[in-house]
Amino acid sequence: MSVTPEPQQTIALVVRHNTAGIDEPVQAIVDFLQGAGYRVVFEQETAGHVQVAGVAAMTVEQIGEHCGTAIVVGGDGTMLGIARQLARYRVP
């Protein structure tokens, strides 16, 4: 069994962490994705600010290497910032 997660089955969540009340919608997203059989990870900075238990953290580089998709919960700045960092890894 491989220790490295399959990229198609691992989804990273990047969350604009200074948004009041963000934990509940993020928990709903995590529950939905996990219920559909995906492994969910947080971007490292997100993990330090969002209060959702049981979700591992990865650096941007690790996300680029091990995740098939990144979902951004935030505004344009959050999306564009992470998109610039993940572009070289071709992670949608």
* Cα–Cα dist 92/24, whole Å: 24
Token representation of residue 14? 């990047």
Active-site residue flag, 76: yes
Question: What does 47-89 look like in DSSP terms, one character per residue?
Answer: HTT---TT-EEE-HHHHHHH-SEEEEES-HHHHHHHHHHHGGG
**Which residue out of 76, 77, 90, 92 is catalytically annotated?**
76
CA angle 11, 20, 73 (to 5 degrees): 25
Q: Return the active site residues.
A: 76
